[in-house]
Amino acid sequence: MSITLPRREPSLWPDLMVGLFVLALGGLALWQAMVIPVSPIYAQVGPRAVPYVVAGGMLLLGAGLVYVALRGGWSHELEEMQDAPPTNWRALTLLGAGLVANLALIGPLGFSVAATAQFVLVAAAFGSRRFLRDLVLALVLTLVVWFGFVEVLGVNIGAGVLEGLVLRALGREVP
Amino acid sequence: MDPIAGLSLGFANALSVTNLGWALLGCFLGTAVGVLPGIGPALTIALLLPITFQVNATGAFILFCGVFYGAMYGGSTTSILLNTPGESGSIITALEGAKMARNGRAGPALATAAIGSFVAGTIGTLGISFLGPIVVELALHLGPAEYFSLMLLCFVTVSAVLGGSALRGLASLFFGLLLGLIGIDLQTGQPRLTFGIPELLDGVNVVLVAVALFAVGETLYLAWRYVEGSQEVRPVGRIMLSRSDLKRSIGPWFRGALLGFPFGVLPAGGTEMPTMLSYYAERKLVKPEYAKEFGTTGAIEGVAGPEAANNAAAAGVLVPMLTLGLPTSATAAIMLSAFQSYGINPGPLLFQQQADLVWTLIASLYVANIMLVVLNLPLVGLWARILKIPQPQLYAGILVFATIGTYGISNSVTDLVLLYGIGIIAMFMRRFDFPTAPVVIGMILGPMAEQAMRQALTISQGDWTTFVTRPISLVILLLALLALAGPRLYGFCTRRGSGHTRDADAIDM
Amino acid sequence: MTRGMLARRGLPATVAALAAAVAGAARAEPRLASLFLFIPANPGGGWDALGRAIEQVARPAGLVGRVQFENLAGAGGTVGLPRFVATRRGRADSLIVAGTAMVGASLINRSPLGPQDLPPVARLTGEAGVVVVPADSPFRDIGQLAAALRTDPGSVAVAGAGGGTLDHIILGLMLRALGRRAAEARFVAFPGGGPSQAAVLGSQVQAAISGWGEFAEQVRSGRVRALATTGERRLDPAVPSLREAGIDVVATNWRGVLAAPGIRPEARAALAALMTELHALPAWRTLLAERGWDDAFLTGADFEAFLERDRAQTATVLKELGLA
């Protein structure tokens, strides 16, 4: 462990960022607590008291984390971090793309298309190479789920492009 | 009508073929929706309400109660297997349950949850049959001051899940408290921390947060550290409980059930608080040789206890509804509206005026419980095999599944943004060793404690001593103090006596 | 026991009657081929129940052909409102269920859109509130409670379902009628009618305000005492209305339907006529009686005037409470 000194420097920043993030959350809470209008309603403890306490607590804890981070941090000492594999940018990107695809597509194209895109991308992130099989699997799965919701529970989760096609193929009206 | 006569009348009705059919259908539907995060029994029953136009009252209520009990069973299954709790009462089950599943003990975890649910459901139903009216009268004596003290007692349980560092554990807790503040303030009606987004006015759903923290965050973290070509094979292991599993589960089942039922009866109780207390109790009471399993490989006591507490509390929730016509939970409120569509007015006179209906309902609860354990135990093997799904498809499935539950009902992209956003935070929490359980505890207890405190202070006209001058409140506060200081005092004494620390104390703050 | 039997025999009979109505009307073309009902709340609540009830009665009677629902809950209906306006603007076949809670919520949340921005069609139901005290309360009648409130509003802790809700507004209106200010109310908010009932039953508070339906059975069984109801007329012969007791307050929890903005006047008149016909059906009366809903049918200019009054009255109190 005598050669850890030069390696220590890069590991200080991540922990510091965490501390600053908690501080920022505390600041955000404080700001939101301050904009709650003071209510003239009869109350011993108003709507602002607890938000102030929570904001104060977060600021204190954030300061504590910053202090620990500046003294060398904690995360490099974690057992799990010492033998963790390096960041897998490919997997993270694909997974992130899956989440974004779902958010972007669920409105305009409907649940099945969005969830299928998500499924295929996430499976690819975890090393699946069988794109077509995943696609078919996802389509079947999401359509079954969609019809389960609409037919069994009677919940309208909005028919998208794909659901409309299937409904028309079945000779049904498209809501 | 005394309970014995009532029950015999009830069983005579409940055991008819049609009523058994309704119970079976309810159990099945309930288990199915319990599995989906975000879709709880309340919503399912609401969706089934139009059935009241076609089915007689007895049949409909047997169906509804089957859904209610079934959802409690189903909620634990996904908590254990996929770390995605289906109901708020199953969140604590996920803590140890998911760890057991990851270490090849999914079968025993599911089995102890199923049998524990049966034991607790039966104890709870016995409670409804014989103690209901008495317990509920006692429960009415508790006001906001007592509830506030109870919630302080529950906050002590955070100490059991703080993890390696009090600083990081408390930061997690405060993050939960912060999330809990979002939405309209109940006392004044003012929006707080909503940033002007109308979707946030009703607050953030705790099940959504739990799924984001446990399932989405975990999946993201695994992608971060994913090594190309490595296929982690999750062992399924043995399916049934071993003799030692059984021995370790029995105590937690009964303790959980006895803790859960009274909490369910309390008008402001619910199913979450007793699961926390049960988890804390089991973690403290566990035999020293198993203590290290908690939080690492998963301790069966931490599944058996909270799951039993959850089911007994669910039974308890029916008590104020049946005996006083009080809808103290969302599910009960919707069942009450179903009563009304039959022209039945639930109230204090329900037990007398609708004796046959009520007793048939109670009898069918026993029946539903037996059905559920018979349905679920053989399924344990099948469920556990879900873990054999190859990693890529399993994780893709988990994310799609979390999305369905969240989006399916609310139809709101805002909710999805929250789900993924909190998931990303959870990924970093995992990286920097912040425990996630305190977030959920803070989020559940924080708003309840704040409202109870402000209700109590409005009632006492600002007199803070109300919390210690009301005797029940004082007793609960002393209990909380004991729970906080007791283990340390004990540890201090044993240290002085034998000169070494107990492992369990290391996790105390 | 007998009531239970009656209820169970009564229901299939209703179903049969409805079925007969279908058979009779099926030949005629429905007045409206399809109706789109937007419910800005989750299934299981009062707004959803009203929406489904409209379908349950109107379709068998041949008033409408197909009914489609969309539920989008949140913030007292103010999450659903913009969606309804955006997706159904100018559509002659669309209605949104609305009510008291939406008026309050749109004021409190300062929503850019409120029920006042939509063409009103009809008010269908209304539920009066009730002021109750625990059975062992020293307040024997509304006069005694009013006197206590007049001398010191802070001396009486009153439970209700949430700050800024109708319960809170009624208490505010009462205080104003008694010459005090709404903000002086010592209001203890509980999450919904159930917990608020529990607080009165356990004598944790001195009084409570809630919907009549929620307390009716507790009053009948003698576990709480009803002092006054908040409607125009008495609901229970033994319980006066606030107005009868000299407190000039009328406030009910109304529910009705509004149309999409931008529809032609003829289309709006057709929707109003549809609701008028619905209201005239015997099946509608049966349904109202079964659910315990009070008939509060109002349409046309009367409904418009009512909406304006309701909004003004609500706004006055909410302003005083610092909420609007």
Q: What DSSP string describes C289-304?
A: HHHTPEEEEEEHHHHH
Question: Which residue on chain B is closest to C190 by alpha carbon?
Answer: B186
Residue A171 has pLDDT above 60, yes or no: yes
Please name the residue of chain B whose CA is at the shortest distance from the CA of residue A74.
Answer: B432
Contact state of C201 with B140 under an 8 Å Cβ cutoff: yes
Query: What is the phi/psi pair of residue C69, to 5°?
Result: -115, 150
Of residues C324 and B450, the one with the higher pLDDT is B450
Give the CA distances from residue C45 to residues B437, C39, C243, in Å, rounded to whole numbers and listed in that order: 32, 10, 29
C2-118+260-292 in CATH: which number? 3.40.190.150
The rounded distance, in Å, linking the Cα atoms of B398 and A125 is: 14
How much of chain B, in percent, has pLDDT values that exceed 70? 93
Intervals of CATH 3.40.190.150 along chain C = 2-118+260-292
**Closest by Cβ to B432, choosing from A18, A138, A157:** A18
- Closest to B76 (Cα-Cα) out of B306, B238, B314, B266: B306
* Minimal Cβ distance to A47: which of B192, B227, B417: B192
Q: How confident is the model at residue A159 (pLDDT cuts 50, 70, 90)?
A: low
- The ipTM assigned to this model is 0.89
Least confident of B2-11, B262-271, B497-506, C25-34: B497-506
Q: What is the pLDDT of residue A30?
A: 94
- What's the confidence (pLDDT) of residue C26? 45
Beta strands in B163-243 (DSSP E): 183-184, 191-192
CB contacts of A36 in chain C (<8 Å) are none
Where along chain C do the CATH 3.40.190.10 domains lie? Answer: 127-229
pLDDT at A79: 73
Of A32, A61, A88, the CB nearest to B223: A88
Q: How confident is the model at residue A117 (pLDDT cuts 50, 70, 90)?
A: very high
Distance CA C14, CA C19 (A): 9
Span A48-64, pLDDT tens digits? 899 999 999 999 999 99
All residues of chain A having their beta carbon less than 8 Å from the beta carbon of residue C69 are 156
Q: C323 CB near a chain A CB, below 8 Å?
A: yes
Of B342, B353, B451, the CB nearest to C11: B342
Q: Which token pair is C319?
A: 């302003």
| Average pLDDT value for residue range B207-235 | 82
pLDDT, tens digit (0-9, with 9 covering 90-100), for C142-182: 999 999 999 998 889 999 988 888 898 899 899 989 998 88
Lowest mean pLDDT across A150-159, B38-47, B335-344, C207-216: A150-159
User: What would the pLDDT profile of B6-32 be if each residue is shown by its tens digit?
Assistant: 888 888 888 888 889 989 988 888 887
Which amino acid, one-letter code, is at B405?
Answer: G
Cα separation, C241 vs C229, whole angstroms: 5
- How many Cα atoms sit within 13 Å of C149 on the Cβ side? 30
Type of residue found at B463: D
Q: Which of B263-277, C14-28, C41-55, C298-312 has the lowest mean pLDDT?
A: C14-28
Q: Tell which residue, B88, B84, B3, B73, has the closest CA to residue B31.
A: B73
pLDDT at C19 exceeding the cut of 70: no
Q: What pLDDT score was predicted for residue A156?
A: 61
What does the domain layout of chain B look like in residue ranges? 3-507
A41/C187 Cβ within 8 A: yes
Q: What is the pTM of this model?
A: 0.85
CB contact under 8 A, B390 and A158: no
Q: How far is B458 from chain C (nearest CA, A)?
A: 7
Partner-chain contact B47 C291, CB within 8 Å = no
pLDDT of A127 over the 70 cut: yes
Q: Which two tokens stand for residue B193?
A: 């921390």
pLDDT classification of C111: cutoffs 50, 70, 90 = confident
Q: What is the mean pLDDT of chain B?
A: 85
B396 closest CB neighbour out of A87, A92, A122: A122
Give the nearest chain B residue to C321 (CA atoms).
B188
Encoded tokens for B277: 């207390």
Residues of C in contact with B267 (CB under 8 A): 194-195, 198-199
Give chain A positions within 8 Å (CB) of B192.
32-33, 36, 47, 51
Nearest residue of chain B to residue C78 (CA atoms): B198
Mutate to test the interface with B, among A54, A68, A157 (most CBs of B within 10 A): A54
Count how many pairs of residues, chain A against chain C, have C-beta atoms within 8 Å: 27
Task: Identify whether the C-beta of residue B212 lies closer than 8 Å to the C-beta of residue B419.
Answer: yes
CB atoms B459 and C188 under 8 Å: yes
- For chain B, how many residues are written? 509
- As a whole number of angstroms, the distance between CA C190 and CA C157 comes to 12
Q: Which residues on B lie below 8 Å from A159 (Cβ)?
A: none
Please report the pLDDT score of residue A175 as a whole number: 53
- pLDDT the model gives residue B49: 76
CB distance C44 to B337 below 8 Å = yes
CATH fold group of domain C127-229 = D-Maltodextrin-Binding Protein; domain 2 (3.40.190)
Q: What is the mean pLDDT of chain C?
A: 83
pLDDT at A66: 94
Chain B residues in contact with A58 (beta carbon < 8 A)? 171, 174-175, 178
Q: Is C163 on the interface with A (CB under 8 A)?
A: yes
Tokens 């906050």 appear where? B155
Distance between B456 CA and the closest CA of chain A, angstroms: 10
To 5 degrees, how large is the angle CA A152–CA C283–CA C47?
50
CA distance A157 to chain C (A): 9
Q: Where is average pLDDT lowest: A27-36, B72-81, C27-36?
A: C27-36
Percent of chain C residues topping a pLDDT of 70: 91
